[in-house]
Chains A and B, each alone.
Chain A
Amino acid sequence: MNILSIFPAIPVLMMLGLWLSKNTRQIHAVMVTGASLLLALAVFLVFRYLGLRAEGETAEMLMTAGFVWYEPLDIRYAVGVDGISVAMILLSAIIVFTGTFASWKMTSDVKEFFIWFCLLSVGVFGFFISVDMFTMFMFYEIALIPMYLLIGVWGTGRKEYSAMKLTLMLMGGSALILIGILGIYFGAGATTMDITEIASLHNIPVSMQRIWFPIVFIGFGVLGALFPFHTWSPDGHASAPTAVSMLHAGVLMKLGGYGCFRIAMYLLPEAAQELSWIFIVLTTVSVVYGAFSACVQTDLKYINAYSSVSHCGLVLFAILMMNTTAATGAVLQMLSHGLMTALFFALIGMIYGRTHTRDIRELSGLMKIMPFLSVCYVIAGLANLGLPGLSGFVAEMTIFNGAFMENDTFHRTVTVIACTSIVITAVYILRLVGKILYGTCTNPAHLKLTDATWDERLAVTVLIVAIAGLGLAPMWMSDMINESVYPIISHILN
């Protein structure tokens, strides 16, 4: 069996194990074993990948394997990875691992929760290893459906409304994706669904590309929180349980950016060049608009959701710049945002679990009461506002430098506008930190609350180590991603 296929296979086995488990203890055992295995395997994959590259493997996709799955439409189950997918798989494994520990104290229907959680991860891993458009789409759908149940059943607040809204909007997006994929398939001569093969055929007429590019880009853009299709995000995140928020904002939203880059831009290069300006405008709006909206929110999760709109906007903004530096920055930003936002949601979940409120007007002086969680919150905040030494800085600087390489007034202007987000981000992060962590606690009921337990500490620590690791030694990741971005970008430009 190909090493890549093990990634979706493990969650499947975990589901089986969960189904057979009889008590919480066994459920936890299954989850921890599976999640650790995934994490170890992902780390191994990174080294294996770098090893292969060092040995001189130059193919675009490595560790490929596949078989025909549905002959009439040439659908294959085909897997393969490049630096971008390796990075994303590592991210997903980290989030699944930490998400498991962040939902350690789950009490209602634990078994079912984790089964759906595993199904979600099957979809995520499957998506990132696939090189066949249709298989990719299938995994995409597998990742979306469990979300409805996870939010609708285990969520909080207006959960049914949020779950329905999120699912419908994302389903709308995937309808567009399906149309677009079929368009690309037939446009390229209906011989293959394989992404690299379609790219090398490079035979889709430009007139058709103009139709399919916006469709596919918006389709994936919905998941990537592209303005004005982002409104599922605040409500969805606010209602979702902790681990689901982590996985959703941390990994699922990356599916959007990844799809935009890998399918919309890579396979429809001429249209991408022609129409990119429309989406550059939209993403610039996302970046600034999300940040401004975050400034006046009062719910912790809303703040983070709008912050995600801003940061994910930057991902799409960067890939539309169509140069290797900016695109490398985009992938780094996906990684960085994934880790940061997962950390944020984990911490918000932990604070909510204790205080039963996420309203920042009701929280204050938490630093004295739960120092560990508060310090981690400050670190997450600093990563979010792009402090050097943490991951956000690396990603943002790569993006801004890349974007600045486009030497014309339009690109310059939007880049400077996007840069202003670093100031606005500082405003909402420091406002939040000042309000809820500093000061004196005004609610006597909060005084008796306890600090993080071991499982929470583990989840949070792993994320912080990853954030600091990426922030302190970015060259490994950056080199690996840069190498893989290069062929895609040069394909788009030629």
Chain B
Amino acid sequence: MEYTIFILLLPFLSFILTGLLGTKLKPVAAGTVGTVVTGIVAALSYLTAFSYFGAGRNADGIFPVQIPWNMEWLPFGGNLHIDIGILLDPISVMMLVVISTVSLMVHIYSFGYMKGETGFQRYYSFLSLFTMSMLGLVVATNIFQMYIFWELVGVSSYLLIGFYYTRKEAIAASKKAFIVTRFADLGFLVGILIYGFYTGSFSFTPDSAVIGSARVFLPLALGLMFIGGAGKSAMFPLHIWLPDAMEGPTPVSALIHAATMVVAGVYLVARMFPLFIGYAPEVLHITAYVGAFTALYAAVVACVQSDIKRVLAFSTISQIGFMIVALGVCTSADPHEGGLGYMASMFHLFTHAMFKALLFLGAGCIIHAVHSNEMSAMGGLRKYMPVTHITFLVACLAIAGIWPLSGFFSKDEILAACFGFSPVMGWIMTAIAGLTAFYMFRLYYCIFWGRENKELHAEHKPHEAPLTMTVPLVFLAIVTLLAGWIPFGEFVSSNGQAYRIHIDWSVAATSLCVAAAGIALATWMYLREDRKIADGLASRFSGLHKAAYHRFYIDEIYQFITHRIIFACISTPVAWFDRHVVDGFMNLLAWISNKVSWMIRGMQSGYVQRYGIWFLGGALGLTIVLLLI
């Protein structure tokens, strides 16, 4: 499996090449380099997956962990050192497939979407950087390597959100994304430091004898690491950067802010799962509550947003909440005995990546057609954009959890895991699933049916997107249609053993009914030209509607903290203190010595008489002192 090194090297070289040549390269050439490289990476990832899973299970019935590459990158003395390498196990191989597939689709799609944009080369260069970092993150052999690539995906995200760097909103959004995740990463870093110190290594599988001595600190370390994960995966209250991140180009939102980077936090928890389950189950359950609250909050907010990308962003936050919940409700490593959530979470990660990328790319086509993100500019678009319409519908059905689309299968496993943990959690998550169906179909009807903005459409007739954009849509739609039938448990499960997925029909029937109810409600409210019911509800509950539309003012709270507290109450006084007190003291010293020298300069006046007086006075003084002693 030595060839896996090229999975990281090729995108890196592509980044360097397109980055250094910049505008010297023709846009098409830069795009081609990026796409071909990603194509090769995707092919290599599939090859890796085939040969990894093809090699079969070992005597213990699990797929053995393979480390085809590992080198010491930075020694810290003692046993601690950062290694850079490639680790293959079921989840990392699965992630390789997900990332390279979505990345390839986005590369192809961007040819159409970004056509004629200035900075086309820069765009592809950053995409390569992102692909490299994300792949490096998932194949990390140790927690510190993960942190390294974690920071790198963060910066690629920063650069791509700020791609339209002349727009104020884009600058603010990129800054916010970076700083909020950086703040969360502080927790991650401290967690790693504690982990490294007490387990004596950065490895994912520390010596169990050493762990014994770290009992109290291991849960702390894992909890702090989860803060880092919560930042990247936009868990409440660190989610605020993700909706704003929609300022970036839409394909970027599809790749980074829907399918891959934002699930890094889920991946982190899954990666540390054996330690969570073995030594810190209570921390794991806390993550479940955080995830459930986030899922609910985001689903409510998604119901009233008017910008289609924001609806999708909140839907992403909500769905990641589902994945975190699935991991958090695990009570053991055995999939038959409360460990089902692990498999469910990874399965949902996989299916969600596909259908959410599809939704975003579809949204990209729509935005491309009507030149606006606002629902008010849309409506009735099914006539103009048949391919986008059908693929978008497929994705909506999948996310709503309708049989036989992929989302049904993975969501069903999550709900089953939640019911296994506690019925309350199960019913809450089922209700959120219903809400999901509602807001997704609200979105769907508002875009493709409902009240059409005829004025705008007459002025500028919406058109179907070019082939480079529709081909990825169709591909992802096919994956979404079929992915549910993958026997996912055969590849990934909490203890590595083969697990046969069986659908719990009582759970499935409930969730299907709830989803259908959500869809029916959305149909009733939004299918028709007039939206009397919806508007009526909005005005009746105007307070709630307004609060939800403003995302319950969480952003304003952050604004207050950063501007009024950190800038106004810490930085400004500190800077003032430095200039006026610390430096003022130095200036005072200078002033005093100046004054003193003015005062005593009379002693050196050049008059002999003066010298005589000083001489006599001094001699007298000294004599008295000596006599007294």
Q: Which residue of A lies closest to B73 (CB)?
A: A475
Known contacts A325-B76, A474-B73; A423 and B183 CB within 8 A of each other: yes
A289, B75: Cα distance in complex, Å: 30
Q: Which of A101-109, A146-154, A271-279, A392-400 interfaces with chain B? A: A392-400
- A443 CB to closest chain B CB (Å) equals 15
Given A401-B193, A419-B186; A430-B151 close (CB under 8 Å):
no
Known contacts A365-B166, A430-B178; decide if A474 and B571 are in contact (CB<8 Å).
no
CB distance A482 to B77 under 8 Å? yes
Contact assessment for B171 and A393 in the assembled complex, using a CB-CB cutoff below 8 Å: no
Docked Cα-Cα span, A439 to B566, in Å, equals 24
Given A289-B574, A434-B171, A478 and B166 touching (CB < 8 A)?
no
Q: How far is the CB of A313 from chain B (nearest CB, A)?
A: 13
Docked complex: B144-173 residues within 8 A CB-CB of A: 144, 147-149, 151-152, 155, 158, 162, 165-166, 168, 171-172
Q: Does B197 contact A (CB under 8 A)?
A: yes
By the criterion CB–CB under 8 Å, are B75 and A231 in contact? no
B189 touches A387 (CB 8 A): no
Question: In this assembly, does A438 line the interface, its C-beta being within 8 Å of a C-beta of chain B?
Answer: yes
User: Residue-by-residue, is B184-210 near A (CB-CB < 8 Å gives 1, otherwise 0)?
Assistant: 011001100110110000000000000
- Chain B residues near A422 (CB-CB < 8 A): 182, 185-186, 189
- Per-position contact with A for B76-113: 1 when CB-CB < 8 Å, else 0? 11101010000000000000000000000000000000
Contact between B151 and A405, CB atoms less than 8 A apart = no
Residue B567 lies at the interface, judged by CB distance under 8 Å to chain A: yes
Closest to A406 in B: B197
Chain A residue, CB-CB nearest to B168: A439
Contacts A389-B152, A405-B78: A427 and B179 contacting too (C-beta < 8 A)? yes
Q: List 26 A-B contacts (CB under 8 A).
A: A165-B590, A228-B585, A295-B571, A295-B575, A296-B567, A296-B571, A296-B575, A323-B77, A325-B78, A365-B166, A387-B155, A388-B152, A389-B152, A397-B74, A398-B74, A398-B76, A404-B196, A416-B190, A423-B183, A430-B175, A430-B178, A431-B175, A434-B175, A438-B162, A440-B166, A482-B75
Contact: A475 with B165, CB < 8 Å? Answer: no
Q: In the complex, given contacts A385-B182, A386-B151, what are 20 additional A-B residue pairs having Cβ atoms less than 8 angstroms apart?
A: A292-B574, A295-B571, A296-B571, A296-B575, A325-B77, A365-B166, A398-B74, A404-B193, A405-B78, A419-B190, A422-B182, A427-B566, A430-B174, A434-B172, A438-B162, A439-B165, A439-B166, A439-B168, A474-B74, A478-B75
In the bound complex, residues from chain B placing their C-beta under 8 Å from that of A474 are 73-74
User: What string of 1s and 0s marks CB contacts (under 8 Å) between A368-390 and chain B?
Assistant: 10000000000000100111110
Tell me the complex Cα distance, A385–B186, Å.
13
Partner of B590, one of A168, A387, A416, A475: A168
* CB neighbours of A295 from chain B (8 A): 566-567, 571, 575
Q: How far is the CA of A71 from the CA of B76 in the complex (A)?
A: 44
Expressed in whole angstroms, the Cα–Cα distance for A364 and B403 within the complex equals 54
Contacts of B144 in A (CB 8 A): 397
In the complex with contacts A289-B578, A419-B190, A423-B182, A401-B76 CB distance below 8 A: yes
Interface residues of A in 163-192 (CB under 8 A from B): 165, 168-169
Q: Which residues of B contact A367 (CB under 8 A)?
A: 165
B-side interface size class: 35 or more
Tell me if A420 is interfacial: C-beta within 8 Å of chain B: yes
Q: How far is the CB of A118 from chain B (nearest CB, A)?
A: 30
B509 within 8 A of A: no
Q: With A420-B186, A438-B162 in contact, is A231–B583 under 8 Å at CB?
A: yes
How distant is A429 from chain B, measured CB to nearest CB, in Å? 9
Please report the C-alpha to C-alpha distance between residue A169 and residue B172 in the assembled complex, in whole angstroms: 40
Interface of A is mostly: helix
B117 at the A interface (CB under 8 A): no
CA distance A436 to B572 in the complex (A): 20
Chain A residues near B455: list those with CB within 8 A: none
Enumerate chain A interface residues (CB-CB to B < 8 A): 165, 168-169, 227-228, 230-232, 289, 292-293, 295-297, 323-325, 328, 365, 367-368, 382, 385-389, 393-394, 397-398, 400-402, 404-405, 407, 415-416, 419-420, 422-423, 426-427, 430-431, 434, 437-440, 474-475, 478-479, 482
Instruction: Write the B563-578 contact mask toward A (1 if CB under 8 angstroms, else 0).
Output: 0001100111011001
**Is B182 in contact with A426, judged by CB distance below 8 angstroms?**
yes
The minimal Cβ–Cβ distance linking A266 to chain B, given in whole angstroms, is 19
Asked whether B586 is an interface residue with its Cβ less than 8 Å from the other chain, the reply is yes
Residue of A nearest to B172 (CB): A434
> Of B74, B183, B571, B578, which contacts A394 at CB under 8 A?
B74
CA distance A230 to B582 in the complex (A): 9
Contacts of A292 in B (CB 8 A): 570-571, 574-575
Cross-chain contact A401 with B182 (CB below 8 angstroms): no
- CA A385 to CA B585, docked complex, whole Å: 31
CB of A405 within 8 A of CB of B179, answer no
Residues of B within 8 Å of A368, CB to CB, are 166
Question: Nearest-CB distance from A234 to chain B (Å)?
Answer: 8
* Interface set of B (CB-CB < 8 Å, partner A): 72-78, 80, 82, 144, 147-149, 151-152, 155, 158, 162, 165-166, 168, 171-172, 174-175, 178-179, 182-183, 185-186, 189-190, 193-194, 196-197, 566-567, 570-572, 574-575, 578, 582-583, 585-586, 590
- Contact pick for B186, options A232, A423, A479, CB 8 Å: A423
User: Residue A231 contacts which of B148, B172, B578 (CB distance < 8 angstroms)?
Assistant: B578
Pick from A289, A328, A420, A434: contact of B77, CB below 8 A.
A328
C-alpha spacing A227/B586, complex, angstroms: 12
CB pair B578–A438 under 8 Å, yes or no, is no
- Chain A, residue nearest B582 (CB): A228
A233 CB → nearest B CB, Å: 10
Measured CB to CB, the nearest residue on chain B to A407 is: B197
Shortest B413–chain A CB gap in Å is: 35
Are B151 and A393 in contact (CB-based, < 8 A)? yes
Asked whether B165 lies within 8 Å of A404 as measured between CB atoms, the reply is no
Cβ-neighbour of A388 out of B151, B165, B182, B566 (below 8 A): B151
Across-interface contacts of B82 in A (CB, < 8 A): 397
**Residues of chain A lying within 8 A (CB to CB) of residue B77:** 323-325, 328, 402, 482
Are B193 and A400 in contact (CB-based, < 8 A)?
yes
Kindly report which residue of chain B lies nearest to residue A232, judged by CB atoms: B586
Docked CA distance A115–B571 (Å): 41
A475, B78: Cβ atoms under 8 Å?
Answer: no
Closest B residue to A472 by CB, please name it.
Answer: B73
Task: List A contacts of B162 (CB < 8 A).
Answer: 438
Q: How far is the CA of A328 from the CA of B185 in the complex (A)?
A: 24
What B residues does A169 contact at CB under 8 A?
586
Q: Which residues of B contact A388 (CB under 8 A)?
A: 147-149, 151-152
Inter-subunit contact A475/B72 (CB<8 Å):
yes
Contacts of B586 in A (CB 8 A): 165, 169, 231-232
How many Å lie between the Cα of A28 and that of B373 in the bound state? 57
Name the residue among A324, A385, A426 with the largest chain B CB count within 10 angstroms: A426
Write out the residue numbers on chain A whose beta carbons fall within 8 Å of the beta carbon of B178. 426, 430
- Whether B189 lies near A400 (C-beta < 8 A) is yes
CA distance A293 to B82 in the complex (A): 33
Question: A residues within 8 A CB of B172?
Answer: 434
Inter-chain contacts of B166 with A (CB < 8 A): 365, 368, 438-440
Cα distance, A405 to B196, chains bound together (Å):
9
Nearest-neighbor residue (CB-CB) of B150 within chain A:
A388
Q: What is the distance, in angstroms, from A71's C-beta to the closest C-beta of chain B? A: 37
Q: A289-B574, A438-B171, A439-B171 are in contact. Are A402 and B76 (CB under 8 A)?
A: yes
Q: Note all chain A residues with C-beta closer than 8 A to B194.
A: 404
Residues of A within 8 A of B171 (CB): 434, 438-439
For A425, the closest partner residue in chain B by CB is B182
CB of B530 to closest CB in A, whole Å: 42
Q: How far is the CA of A434 from the CA of B170 in the complex (A)?
A: 10
Closest to A168 in B: B590
Residue on A with the closest CB to B159?
A378
Going nearest first, the 8 A-B pairs with the smallest beta carbon separation are A231-B583, A388-B148, A438-B165, A295-B571, A325-B77, A404-B193, A292-B574, A296-B571
How close is B24's CB to chain A, nearest CB, in angstroms? 12
Which residues of A sit under 8 angstroms from B571, Cβ to Cβ?
Answer: 292-293, 295-296
